[in-house]
Chain A
Amino acid sequence: MAIITYRDALNQALREEMQRDDRVFIMGEEVAVYQGAYKVSKGLLQEFGEMRVVDTPITELGFAGVGVGAAMVGLRPIIEFMTWNFALLALDQVVNAAAKMLSMSGGQFNIPIVFRGPNGAALQLSAQHSQSWESWLAHIPGLKVVAPGTPYDAKGLLKSAIRDDNPVMFLEGEMLYNIKGEVPEGEYTIPLGKAQVKREGDHVTIISYGKMINVANQAADILAKDGIRAEVIDLLTLRPIDTETIIASVKKTNRAVVVEEGWEICGMGAQIVDYVQRDCFDDLDAPVLRVHQVDVPMPYAKNLERAAKPDAQKTVAAVRQVLYLD
């Protein structure tokens, strides 16, 4: 198997799906001539031309709407947001149009569209550029939300997202683009709505997704040195969420920690804890704990940013707490 970056894995998925279906096009800021702000769309303009690889003005609400309109009448747009921070400007089209068109029209108009781009913090980008929007998006009926954390998952899930007939929010990560991993040469897809057990264990379940799955794995490595066997579940899709995999694991380990990048209040983790308390109440040996960003706008200063972000150390501490080790 080839070892490639997360960025290249996404690039392969885009290329293969554009080759496979000529209704698929990509649109966004700097996707064409500049080859992508983060080079995810590198080479696509040269291969597919400017009708299918379209640079836009800085007009997120506008081009998100253009995507919805094109999807309404039969195209399959991929709309790139330079980052999800800027997608805030487009949320009206995402939430009020893409998410509910099928329902409002009594099933007549589905919107096969992918909105994608990096989500969450990178390094020292400060408050307006360091935000995780998954819980906002996952709140909305009609949207699917996907957040891969490895190159393999990124490619397989993006291909499925593009083939899906619904609006799919695809959350990448600036800090993920350079991560390397094995990706098979041949065609494969990964189904939306299915979680994966990334690592088996029987002492505690760590549930995470996206960039944080790498934090969860690091924490599991550290815990393993102390003989603690953590099971790591990667949700991959946040809506629809695969509660079965979560529940089966917690029933086995009796303890759980959720790791997410965003803020605590109304975060993804709160929803996961709700599923766990409903279905595993009698199985739990400790309250379920959450690891997340400190409840503040992200500060610029290096030391404060580090203190604000969830990390492996904080995850280890939470796991030790649910195991009553400290």
Chain B
Amino acid sequence: MARANKSAPAPSESPNATETKSMAKKKPESSDDSALRLSLLREMLLMRRFEERTAEAYALGKIGGFCHLYIGQEAVGAGAISVLRPDDYVITSYRDHGQALARGITPRSVMAELFGRIDGCSKGKGGSMHLFDRNTNFLGGHGIVAGHIPIATGVGFAIKYRGGDQVCLCFFGEAAVNNGAFHEALNMAALWQLPVVYLVENNRYGMGTALERASSVNDIAERACSYDMPNEVVDGQDVIAVREAVTRAVARARGENTPTLIEVRTYRFMGHSMSDAVSGTYRSKEELDEYMKRDPIAVLRAQMEQRGEWSDDKMAAIDDEVRAIVEDAWNFADESPEPPLEALTEDVYVDTTSDTDTGVAAAGER
């Protein structure tokens, strides 16, 4: 089996480095590339502004329960999802706001979900950790660490079963690779050659536990060797590098039904969830500050500046635009009603006595 070049875009260990190999690579530039950079920038800014307001809404008690922010990791979701076709599938963990937005779930319906309102993408029943959207093939935010990795394998199985050429992109944290579900899922995907891209967001911590304190292997991509699966490591603060790595993996999945494990090295700028201090217990303020120098938005900005694509005015206009979108989402969510009490007992079973047998229809259609 063809192995991906493991030394491909290796991120510098130094969080300070702003140069990456993919950037240095000389290849002809087209206007498409600059449009792409601009749209990725806008995507990341939308995620950032959206979650800044999410944190405020949480403090105001408009959002409850567990809420995990993606701030610092935006390049991963934005870059990876930008590669997909609309009919591909995305599945992820509870840290799902950024990926949901990147996949095109409207900011309105994501915010309404966080507010627990009827217009939310899961009708207010799922909340922050359980964003779902059938229209965009967004198969969920899942709350049990590693629990959704075998589900991704199952989606890959269904794609192959139906003879389709879609792929399933599965996001999870680096702490999930220590769970048996990860290993079982990757083994089956490699054994049966399923079109799945397993993307580990290595943000260095699983809650308060540093990677080295939980894993006997520190290079997570190496875990793929146990399953003879192509793998690569990529700098997760560089959205273009993420995009390129995922492009290679998606091509392998679509063309050859070959799964890939991509380790994306990133960092979370906020606490694990809203109750966790940003730094102090398990990571130092200094470490955080170092990593924050490589804000994914700033990294892309530097790339754009280098190419003369950056103008403060243009950027201010984009920022205003995304802030307005987020403001609109907030107002929409705030005005959306709570679910009616009758909704409590709905959606526990589908009504198989009616004509709309969703299970069968879905298998044919999708």
Residues of B within 8 A of A86 (CB): 144-145
Residue of B nearest to A302 (CB): B116
Given A128-B142, A129-B66, answer yes or no on A304-B126 (Cβ-Cβ < 8 Å): no
Interface string of A158-199 (1 = CB under 8 A from B): 000000000000000000000000000000000000000000
Which chain A residues in 11-50 approach chain B with CB under 8 Å?
Answer: 29-30, 33-35, 37
Residues of A within 8 A of B180 (CB): 59, 61-62, 89
Residue of A nearest to B216 (CB): A57
Given A30-B209, A301-B117, A303-B341, answer yes or no on A126-B130 (Cβ-Cβ < 8 Å): yes
B282 lies within 8 A of A34 (CB): yes
Residue of B nearest to A126 (CB): B127
Residues of B within 8 A of A224 (CB): none
Residues of B within 8 A of A58 (CB): 145-146, 175-176, 178-179, 206, 214
Interface string of B103-118 (1 = CB under 8 A from A): 0000000000000110
B175 lies within 8 A of A299 (CB): no
B7 within 8 A of partner (CB): no
Q: Quick one: which of A57, A89, A125, A297 has the most chain B CB within 10 A?
A: A57
Residues of A within 8 A of B122 (CB): 300
A308 within 8 A of partner (CB): yes
B130 lies within 8 A of A302 (CB): no
A2 within 8 A of partner (CB): no
Residues of B within 8 A of A294 (CB): 344-345
B208 within 8 A of partner (CB): yes
B348 lies within 8 A of A297 (CB): yes
B277 to chain A, nearest CB (A): 11
A304 lies within 8 A of B125 (CB): yes
Question: Please, how many residues of chain A have a CB less than 8 angstroms from a CB on the other chain?
Answer: 38
B199 to chain A, nearest CB (A): 18
A257 to chain B, nearest CB (A): 22
Which chain B residues in 47-105 approach chain A with CB under 8 Å?
Answer: 64-66
Given A126-B143, A304-B341, A308-B344, answer yes or no on A59-B178 (Cβ-Cβ < 8 Å): yes
B150 within 8 A of partner (CB): no
Residues of A within 8 A of B117 (CB): 301
A214 within 8 A of partner (CB): no
Residues of A within 8 A of B327 (CB): none
A296 within 8 A of partner (CB): yes
A29 lies within 8 A of B345 (CB): no
B215 within 8 A of partner (CB): yes
Residues of A within 8 A of B343 (CB): 299, 304
A33 CA / B209 CA spacing, docked (Å):
8
B21 to chain A, nearest CB (A): 31
B31 within 8 A of partner (CB): no
Residue of B nearest to A36 (CB): B208
